[in-house]
Amino acid sequence: RIFFALSLLLLVYAIARPLRSPRLQQQQQQLTRIMSAASAEIEVQQLPWITTPESKGIFSMFRLWPRPAPTKDSHAAELALLQSGGIAASTPQTAGATAPNSDDVVAELLDVDIDDNGNYIHTLAIRRGANAGMSSAASETSKTAARHSLVMTHGYFTGLGFFFRNYKELARVDGWDVYAIDWLGMGRSARPAYTSNRTSDEARVGGAEAFFVESLEEWRKRVGIDKMTLCGHSFGGYMSTLYALKYPEHVEKLVL
């Protein structure tokens, strides 16, 4: 019976997959045009330091992590989204390639390595001082060295673009560096291998929680932040709370 049910499920999936409604086709064509326009406008190059292997075949739907979009497309979409929120973002490889608008806030997009196995956390960094300055519109506040670090963590299976309308105003607050991350396995962060410990419910949940909490702690070390204010939405609030419980010495405040 199990074999028959699985066979029927795969058959339905194989038949239904090529069937697309006219509305869905129209939406996909519109998205393609938007992505092409964004890529042309910002002259996006394939980023050599990120690999996004694509799963092929019918069994790709059983992957633990969602398949990432091709690097060029996801990078173009991210830049266009941030730009719509008044953030002129660049990578270390493209810094200074284009001049931001006069009222934009300048930011960096970084892939922060968290181990020696190629795993990284994709990061938006709006930092004061010589490394990443503000635009002229925020020049008065950028003269003051940051005394605090705000780290924004998104909800389940979203990404740092979730807060794209908030970054500009937050960046104008005097004395703060603003960071946002993509959790591992989400957004444009790495898709590491993960094996669940199923010996008990406690071990399974504890292992999943540690997976995210410890990656955040390693990210903090690599970025060089001593104390941070964690702002977490949904799943991000859950993990930020767990982090604060384990590493209270590195948390200034929690915003949930």
> Mean pLDDT in the chain?
79
Residue 247 has pLDDT above 50, yes or no: yes
Predicted local confidence at residue 22, as pLDDT: 64
Distance CA 197, CA 186 (A): 21
Over residues 25-63, the pLDDT tens digits come to 665 665 565 555 544 444 433 333 333 444 445 555 455
Over residues 175-208, the pLDDT tens digits come to 999 999 999 999 999 999 898 888 999 999 999 9
- Of the candidates 65, 39, 38, 40, the one whose C-alpha atom is nearest the C-alpha of residue 53 is 65
Predicted local confidence at residue 102, as pLDDT: 73
Residue 135 has pLDDT above 50, yes or no: no
Residues in CB range of 4: below 8 A, 6 or more apart: none
Predicted local confidence at residue 9, as pLDDT: 78
Over residues 59-68, the pLDDT tens digits come to 554 555 555 5
Residues in CB range of 63: below 8 A, 6 or more apart: 55
Predicted local confidence at residue 256, as pLDDT: 96
Predicted local confidence at residue 179, as pLDDT: 98
Residue 251 has pLDDT above 90, yes or no: yes
Residue 224 has pLDDT above 50, yes or no: yes
Backbone angles phi, psi at 67, to 5 degrees: -70, 125
Residue 94 has pLDDT above 80, yes or no: no
Q: Give the rounded percent of residues in the chain with a pLDDT score beyond 90.
A: 53
End-to-end distance of the chain based on CA atoms, in angstroms?
47
Contact between residue 222 and residue 113 where contact means Cβ atoms under 8 Å apart: yes
| 29-38 long-range Cβ contacts below 8 angstroms, 24+ apart | 34/80, 35/73, 35/76, 35/77, 38/76, 38/77, 38/79, 38/80
Predicted local confidence at residue 182, as pLDDT: 98
- Least confident segment among 27-36, 204-213, 247-256: 27-36
Predicted local confidence at residue 145, as pLDDT: 63
Kind and range of the H or E run holding 41: helix 22-42
Predicted local confidence at residue 108, as pLDDT: 95
Predicted local confidence at residue 144, as pLDDT: 55
Over residues 4-31, the pLDDT tens digits come to 878 887 776 666 555 555 665 665 665 5
Distance CA 12, CA 10 (A): 5
Residue 106 has pLDDT above 60, yes or no: yes
Contact between residue 92 and residue 108 where contact means Cβ atoms under 8 Å apart: yes
Upper half-sphere CA count for residue 20 (Cβ side, 13 Å): 9
